[in-house]
Structure 1
């Protein structure tokens, strides 16, 4: 087999794929639409999604760009292996996996899964830190029409047990260090050897003839963080995964010449789907770190020269505070993506001062995740912003009744597009509440300005009602993080006998901290009712694995 079609230069097919993934400049809801008929529902998984969620009604309103080969879904997995087989796909712990080796490993694992009677509609979990075998597992599952369930290894055993039971996972692919934990979670009466498998163990060569998965088959089941209650399993089908990749290719201008440094955990869609998968789909190289380490990040940027990386505000702050920051050479990076929570402008500006635009990304597990994004130019012009609707998305700010609001009004962000989840696993009520008339209600508050840019205001449920006025924590936090002597901070509401609630700043103090100076810093910058009533100091803010502030724990600290 040649590494490119006859008469075509090597790499040309990857360029064509990148163009196909980019699609037209803007996807308009009007005009002729090609609707792909849904695949037959698999009773083990598709039937567990809300009946009204498949096929998705909103898909008919979005005209997708043509796929290179829809019948051989998912084409982005196979193109790099066919046309750049010996190029580096993943670098991890000193080892290099080529695209050909990645594809062969996926073929072998899919055959091993099929031998265990894993097939269309089944769920296979992955437990472990970032590792190439997770990518192999996703590719292998997609060959069978099965879905991969990435597990957050930071969760306690009862939490993991709930997720595995809720998802009805048939098998857990556990890295060696996590196998004992996975075995302890096996269903009663099932031998651990039938429930847990080492994805790094050698496998016999896979055999051809496995029925391929389709774009309508569930590809990922990713559980939400559960900060507002029990986590819910968002089901993303193959078409949603590819649509999100198209958004990423356009947002970051990804090509096969790029090199992505991945340090965020791939048990979240951020670490997995914002840069990592899209980069592999266009034939770019991914350097994969098992977990974030500041020294390792600086070393990789300077020695290996990645062109892109994805961070969250907590990691950005850790890098800026690191002794290596002042002398760090970041010239290889042409941009950094940032999201998971509002990015304080000072953090973005610190990267900008080193010549690296910080492109704000907004989304949710349920949106694949990319829904809003900044271009590099917009990142420099609006530090800490979240930009505009991604190419394949429609986004609006709406009121409680679902009516669009004009620019300047704060309301809830709603998203529509082919990147949306199919629904929540075994939760038709939750699905119906989250997706109405094809629009996913994010629960996040924002406003649209006259230029078409969005600005986050916080979670709808986190709004502070003080004297009848709405105070959105994100608006106050943006000012708080520019106050002197603050290394980290967040805002929440606490009860007040006169006003009902008042804002309180919870901060991690740094050099030169003065609580009175912090309060004075707000004068003339925000209305009086938005200014913090007082300041509470802590050694660290309670945060999730992706750096989001845990609001319930924050309120407990503020009222202690």
Structure 2
């Protein structure tokens, strides 16, 4: 990766104060769950209050605050506030089990743990777990009906009194530890400017977790420079504007929640709409009511939206474009959006790099819709063989990316840091004294298979670990799934390799859809569309695909259940 400057510019981390100065009265955040709307002036005051809270609990100069919550304004407050204090925000998935959370928190070692009410019992299980090694202070976020509070400085102390009364209500729950306190009672009411820390582009700002080879998520170190460069790439590649509005359907414990659109739109002074829960109907309604101009979602959400009863009657005319990310988007879904006059295309990214790496040239043809486009302005991409040597156009190999928006390393995971980021193990140990070091890697290994056509468009062929070999031929499940998904009786499909005595492995299609579909029907449908060795030899059905994230199919769970030849 290119080296970042280590100079501590005053503007590094100053997201809310700079934007509040430039666009004080513009609405930057809408909480669709409560109906609250926050201007950038209000967001900066909230960030100042939160920065004071974080400093009181030692969340500064590289120390961490972990958050177990759905999408709420308080997470935005923590992002802006850690920029001011030099702290690090580590949002955690509430979908994880206590054992996984304990192991992650043992590594993160947060000075402060912020827990939203619905996950208090989960947090209590984590804190009482035998494997717990970390010590922290716990603060709880109140239920939505108890969360409203003034952002002005009260002269009579009424806001403080109200906060204290809410805290008393919280303490009545039997699962609460006596020392747990409510966010509203401990956050200072003073929203005036705070003294900001000296942070450089190389200092960490976010810990965002991703899957690990051992099954425990890895914490990816996202620096201030990574966040900033991804924002530059997204704005320039996608043509974002200050007047843009988006419903943020990704959770804020994923890179999609922060770096796909939220931070780039804050960068411009645009508007982000969040909610505790999103479903296709609510997204459709928000597009219409908020006049959304940009939408990015996983393929399953986009598919459910265009199949919803409200689809034809929803006014989508304000949308300039939509993007699909997190997996391949079926042609039938893309065509449904195109028929409504909306340019839907596929994006590509990962926590370790970006996540916004590609764009589509002006006047691109729908014939290229299976691709993710060409590399963005400040991104290099290449396809390599198992020895890391670049491959010619049209040849499938592993996709590697290089950009100043790449992450720094995995926290306290030197072996996997070396494998993914090309950092020598001795320099990737994640120890505190290494924070802010200059990265020595260049190319980020994505683990995804890809090819590049003669025009420079990149096509993702699936995960390297999902490829299987049948009779000496490589089979890429994504290619097979794309064709099967066009069958009218198929709603969703995952193809896995299963053992075969003669061919080594053959494909098994796991289908969500009409169970009257037979293997013979499928073979007839695929005749002339796929080579014989690529066609599945087994067929199985599920009522619904297992999910590992925000409407993202858990392929490992599918493989675990259906990985036998029967």
Q: TM-score range by the shorter chain?
A: 0.7 to 0.9
TM-score by length of 1: 0.84
Q: Give the direction of change, closer, same or farther, for the CA distance of 1:213–1:143 in structure 2 (3 Å limit).
A: farther
2:313 counterpart of 1:344 = no
2:80 counterpart of 1:139 = yes
Report the Cα distance in structure 2 between the residues aligned to 1:538 and 1:383, rounded to whole angstroms: 28
Moved more, 389-398 or 509-518: 509-518
SS of alignment partner, residue 298 of structure 1:
helix
Q: Give the direction of change, closer, same or farther, for the CA distance of 1:447–1:419 in structure 2 (3 Å limit).
A: same
Q: Give the direction of change, closer, same or farther, for the CA distance of 1:214–1:204 in structure 2 (3 Å limit).
A: farther
Q: Give the direction of change, closer, same or farther, for the CA distance of 1:514–1:357 in structure 2 (3 Å limit).
A: farther
In the alignment, what sits opposite 2:449?
Answer: 445
2:381 counterpart of 1:395 = yes
In the alignment, what sits opposite 1:475?
Answer: 479
2:113 counterpart of 1:128 = no
Moved more, 484-493 or 370-379: 370-379
Q: Is contact 1:264-1:292 (8 Å) kept? A: no
In the alignment, what sits opposite 1:91?
Answer: 30
Among candidates 150, 157, 162, match of residue 103 of structure 2: 162
Moved more, 110-119 or 468-477: 110-119
Report the Cα distance in structure 2 between the residues aligned to 1:428 and 1:354, rounded to whole angstroms: 48
Q: Give the direction of change, closer, same or farther, for the CA distance of 1:348–1:377 in structure 2 (3 Å limit).
A: farther
Among candidates 550, 556, 560, match of residue 560 of structure 2: 556
Equivalenced residue count is 499
Report the Cα distance in structure 1 between the residues aligned to 2:134 and 2:558, rounded to whole angstroms: 41
In the alignment, what sits opposite 2:6?
Answer: 37
In the alignment, what sits opposite 1:247?
Answer: 233
Deviations 1:147-196 (A, max 9, x none): 11111111122221111112122211222333443344345695754796
Q: Is contact 2:285-2:314 (8 Å) kept? A: no
Moved more, 511-520 or 352-361: 511-520
Report the Cα distance in structure 1 between the residues aligned to 2:37 and 2:505, rounded to whole angstroms: 55
Deviations 1:269-328 (A, max 9, x none): 012210111111110011112222122111111222100111101111221222222333
Write the mapping of 1:12-411 to structure 2, written as runs, cut at 5 A.
36-37=5-6, 70-92=9-31, 93=33, 94-186=35-127, 193=138, 198-199=182-183, 202-206=187-191, 208-226=194-212, 229-374=215-360, 377-378=363-364, 380-411=366-397
Among candidates 410, 419, 426, match of residue 433 of structure 1: 419
Deviations 1:375-419 (A, max 9, x none): 574374422421111221111111111111110000000011111
Moved more, 463-472 or 335-344: 335-344
Q: Is contact 1:357-1:376 (8 Å) kept? A: no
Write the mapping of 1:472-551 to structure 2, written as runs, cut at 5 A.
472-510=476-514, 513-551=517-555
Report the Cα distance in structure 2 between the residues aligned to 1:512 and 1:180, rounded to whole angstroms: 43
Which structure 2 residue ranges, 5 or more long, are not aligned?
140-178, 423-440
Deviations 1:119-148 (A, max 9, x none): 111111111111111111011111111111
Write the mapping of 1:414-433 to structure 2, written as runs, cut at 5 A.
414-433=400-419
Q: Is contact 1:176-1:198 (8 Å) kept? A: no
Q: Give the direction of change, closer, same or farther, for the CA distance of 1:190–1:430 in structure 2 (3 Å limit).
A: closer
Q: Is contact 1:118-1:146 (8 Å) kept? A: yes
Moved more, 74-83 or 438-447: 74-83
Q: Give the direction of change, closer, same or farther, for the CA distance of 1:157–1:173 in structure 2 (3 Å limit).
A: same
SS of alignment partner, residue 397 of structure 1:
strand
Report the Cα distance in structure 2 between the residues aligned to 1:444 and 1:293, rounded to whole angstroms: 29
Deviations 1:330-360 (A, max 9, x none): 1111111211112222211211111111131
Moved more, 503-512 or 534-543: 503-512
Q: Give the direction of change, closer, same or farther, for the CA distance of 1:528–1:522 in structure 2 (3 Å limit).
A: same
Report the Cα distance in structure 2 between the residues aligned to 1:208 and 1:549, rounded to whole angstroms: 43
Which structure 1 residue ranges, 5 or more long, are not aligned?
1-28, 40-69
**Distance apart, 1:226 and its partner CA:** 3.8
Q: Give the direction of change, closer, same or farther, for the CA distance of 1:378–1:535 in structure 2 (3 Å limit).
A: farther
In the alignment, what sits opposite 1:65?
Answer: none
Report the Cα distance in structure 2 between the residues aligned to 1:99 and 1:143, rounded to whole angstroms: 15
Deviations 1:210-229 (A, max 9, x none): 42433221011111034762
**Distance apart, 1:552 and its partner CA:** 2.7
